[in-house]
């Protein structure tokens, strides 16, 4: 009988796994290293980290209660070495304080949505299925995509579609949403995808995949406040790292990657005022970059796992602690 390598994990393959292990490895060689998986998901990266670094303790965070349930079962062989927390990584500093870890040795971010979030139609993330317009990663929060689509002003919708979806036709899509919702509330992914298609000029529609893709990405980012969570989480992760501690970030669209690049470069720069004869210790960089630019998955990985296609990896190491 042929066995599916990913049986029981929804076919999910952890992205750039070997590189993640290689980059975090040197930080996890101490007697009792602590590593944070800030996007636990199905626990694929976490399981590999726990297996590869047997002395480590792992704190796994996800805002999706299903991810916590699933990973609790999957990681049960490591129950003694894990602390799983249902929270947003935007609250990382608080989560670390609550779990009694003021410093940690490694942090992994594997941003974005998980395979089950995309594949389970009723979660409303995918334009390819007809489902209620939901898109909440945390099913306990109030804001849904339906609420955004039916209550935000034209200006707010335009800004979201432009900034988070990089949708060229943002005002047209927002305009048609406003017109259609005045006739009847827009409550399904299918109806929204039809509206987007109708708003995009026919010539453009023929190129570049499903026109709803950008609008759905934008709404997902808004509903889950993904960028503000990342803006809070990255500095908290960097601040928590011990000397020699490492952070690895996998992002999946340019907005996440830009925020990551900014957060890492801000801390790897010497901020001494120009023209000083000697560098000032207080202005020396606290971190060094471990990656040149953003690393991409190999061709071989892409052939195996098409969902890795948009991944960008950046990493940094703490080389100084505050005096």
* Residues of this chain that bind ligand SAM (CB under 6 A): 12, 14, 39, 41-45, 61-64, 67, 88-90, 110, 112-114, 137, 226, 229
Smallest distance from the beta carbon of 168 to ligand SAM, in angstroms? 26
Give least dist CB 223 to ligand SAM, A.
11
- Residue nearest ligand SAM (C-beta atom): 41
Tell me the closest approach of the beta carbon of residue 13 to ligand SAM, in angstroms. Answer: 8
Nearer to ligand SAM, 64 or 295 (CB): 64
Q: 215 vs 251, which CB is nearer to ligand SAM?
A: 251
Cα–Cα distance for residue pair 152/91, rounded to 1 Å: 26
73 burial via Cβ count (<10 Å: 0-12, 13-18, 19+): exposed
Known binding residues for S-adenosyl-L-methionine are: 43-45, 62, 110, 117
Q: Which is nearer to ligand SAM, 120 or 239 (CB)?
A: 120
75 with 42: CB under 8 angstroms?
A: no
Euclidean distance between CA atoms 317 and 289, whole angstroms: 6
50 burial (CB, 10 Å; 0-12 / 13-18 / 19+) is buried
- Helix and strand counts by DSSP (H, E) for the chain: 14, 7
- Beta strand residue intervals within the chain, DSSP E: 34-37, 57-62, 82-86, 104-110, 241-251, 287-289, 312-318
Tokens of 292: 């040149």
CB nearer to ligand SAM: give 210 or 310. Answer: 310
With respect to ligand SAM, which residue has the nearer C-beta, 6 or 272? 6
Least separation in angstroms between CB 292 and ligand SAM: 23
Characterize the bridge pairing of strands 312-318 and 241-251.
antiparallel
Least CB distance to ligand SAM at residue 227 (A): 10
């Amino acid at each position: 009988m042929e066995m599916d390598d990913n049986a029981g994990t929804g076919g999910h393959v952890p992205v750039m796994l070997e590189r993640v292990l290689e980059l975090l490895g040197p930080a996890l060689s101490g007697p009792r290293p602590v590593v944070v998986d800030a996007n636990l998901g199905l626990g694929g990266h976490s399981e590999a980290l726990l297996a590869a670094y047997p002395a480590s303790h792992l704190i796994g965070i996800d805002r999706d209660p299903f991810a916590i349930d699933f990973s609790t079962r999957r990681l049960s062989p490591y129950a003694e070495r894990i602390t799983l927390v249902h929270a947003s990584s935007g609250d990382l500093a608080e989560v670390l304080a609550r779990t009694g870890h003021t410093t940690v040795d490694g942090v992994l971010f594997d941003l974005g949505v998980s395979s089950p979030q995309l594949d389970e139609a009723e979660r409303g993330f995918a334009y390819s299925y007809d489902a209620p317009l939901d898109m909440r990663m945390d099913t306990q929060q109030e804001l849904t995509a339906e609420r955004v689509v039916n209550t935000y002003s034209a200006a707010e919708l335009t800004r979201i579609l432009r900034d988070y979806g990089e949708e060229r036709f943002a005002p047209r899509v927002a305009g048609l949403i406003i017109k259609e919702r005045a006739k009847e509330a827009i409550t399904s992914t299918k109806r929204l995808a039809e509206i987007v298609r109708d708003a995009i000029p026919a010539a453009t529609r023929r190129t570049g995949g499903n026109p709803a893709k950008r609008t759905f990405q934008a709404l997902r980012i808004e509903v889950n406040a993904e960028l503000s969570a990342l803006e809070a989480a990255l500095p908290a992760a960097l601040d928590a790292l011990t000397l020699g501690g490492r952070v690895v970030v996998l992002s999946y669209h340019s907005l996440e990657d830009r925020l990551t690049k900014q957060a890492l470069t801000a801390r790897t720069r010497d901020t001494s005022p120009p023209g000083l004869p000697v560098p000032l210790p207080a202005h020396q960089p606290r971190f060094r970059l471990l990656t040149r630019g953003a690393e991409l998955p190999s061709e071989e990985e892409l052939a195996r796992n098409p969902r890795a296609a948009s991944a960008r990896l950046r990493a940094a190491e703490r080389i100084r602690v505050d005096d």
